Amino acid sequence: MAAEPRGAAAHERDGGGAITDALSLFASRLSRRRFGDDELRVLEAALSSGGDVAAMLATRSEARRLLRERSTEAFAAAAAEEAGARLSVADFFARAFALAGDVESCLATRYEALLLREAKYSDDPHLHVSHDEWLTFAQDSLDNGFYAIASKAFANALVHNHSSTLDSTNPILKKSKINDIRGLQNLAKSLSGQRSVQAQSAEYMKRKAPSISEKCNLQSEKPKLPGNMMFRLGIKTRNTQKLLCSRKRNLEDV
């Protein structure tokens, strides 16, 4: 069997990162628009290769960069194709991002796929998006800190409230479950607003940092203030997670 061709991108550098030999096979297959289970196995093998932890982390980081770059190209190329082809591409990259540990890109891709199915296959019994799917996606988004998307997904779960999960002969139980979802949606909205304020504050401090550094005549190129800001944001994030876990436990006890 002939050896798998390796693209020129296998050794090129982009922003200081290089596609390693372990990823060159995967990159070659992506360049030829091969998006299947075999390619995912190649990626998994590449991510598990490496002589030490540092090498594996570097490979994982480069895999994320590669996937983001190639997914943009793939979605652009699939834009003119039928919805089924676009869903296939989205499913592949969602799983690939999950393997690479890129939670944000994975959730974003899953969300786009759900919206596409919602728009194109609402009457298809096999492809329409169910209440359970929206609820699972909403909870995943909430757990990982993507509160704005979680809020929208909870709203969609409420719209699709005729699935077996909520189709109960007990109206009190059904109302209780709906209230639970609304409670989580409100929590996501609240956390989204808090995060927005924190993000604006962090951006402001980034802009102020250079002038503060000059006034204090600091020798280091990294101002201390943004680091302190990130520390405080980290504490707030941890407290937010505790609040979320507590809220979920309370909802489960209801």
Kindly list the distances between the CA atom of residue 229 and the CA atoms of 145, 211, 232, 238, in Å, as whole numbers in the listed order: 19, 16, 5, 14
pLDDT greater at residue 17 or residue 163: 163
CA 165 – CA 149 distance, rounded (Å):
22
Whether 36 and 52 map to the same domain: the answer is: yes
User: Is the distance from CB of 10 to CB of 28 less than 8 angstroms?
Assistant: yes
Whether 213 and 243 map to the same domain: the answer is: yes
CA 197 – CA 100 distance, rounded (Å):
30
Q: Summarize the confidence of residues 57-74 as an average pLDDT.
A: 93
Domain boundary among 86, 105, 129: 129
Whether 149 and 60 map to the same domain: the answer is: no
Whether 27 and 84 map to the same domain: the answer is: yes
Q: Which residue has the tokens 């890129």?
A: 102
* Structure-token pair, residue 128: 């329409």
Whether 136 and 111 map to the same domain: the answer is: no
Domain boundary among 129, 159, 191: 129
Asked if pLDDT for residue 228 goes beyond 80, the answer is no
pLDDT category of residue 134 using cuts at 50, 70 and 90: very high
Asked if pLDDT for residue 103 goes beyond 80, the answer is yes
Kindly list the distances between the CA atom of residue 33 and the CA atoms of 10, 46, 85, 117, in Å, as whole numbers in the listed order: 16, 18, 12, 22
- The pTM assigned to this predicted structure is 0.65
To the nearest whole percent, how much of the chain has pLDDT over 90? 40
Whether 32 and 20 map to the same domain: the answer is: yes
State the chain's mean pLDDT as an integer: 76
pLDDT category of residue 74 using cuts at 50, 70 and 90: very high
pLDDT at residue 167, as a whole number? 52
Whether 118 and 165 map to the same domain: the answer is: no
* CB atoms inside a 10 Å sphere around CB 247: 16
Which residues in 75-222 belong to E strands, given as ranges? none
* Structure-token pair, residue 144: 């990982």
Whether 39 and 106 map to the same domain: the answer is: yes
Residue ranges making up the domain that contains 209: 130-254
Number of domains within the chain: 2
218-224 long-range CB contacts below 8 Å, 24 or more apart? Answer: none
| Greatest extent of the chain over all pairs of C-alpha atoms, in Å | 71
Checking phi first, is residue 237 left (phi over 0); if not, alpha (psi -120 to 50) or beta? alpha
Number of helices (H), then strands (E), belonging to the chain: the values are 9, 2
* Structure-token pair, residue 170: 């007990």
Whether 124 and 135 map to the same domain: the answer is: no
Whether 88 and 165 map to the same domain: the answer is: no
Asked if pLDDT for residue 217 goes beyond 70, the answer is no
User: Is the distance from CB of 95 to CB of 40 less than 8 angstroms?
Assistant: yes
Using one digit for the tens of pLDDT, what is the confidence trace for 155-209?
A: 999 988 755 454 555 666 678 888 899 999 999 988 887 766 665 555 555 555 5
Q: How many residues does the chain have?
A: 254
Domain boundary among 111, 129, 147: 129
pLDDT at residue 79, as a whole number? 86
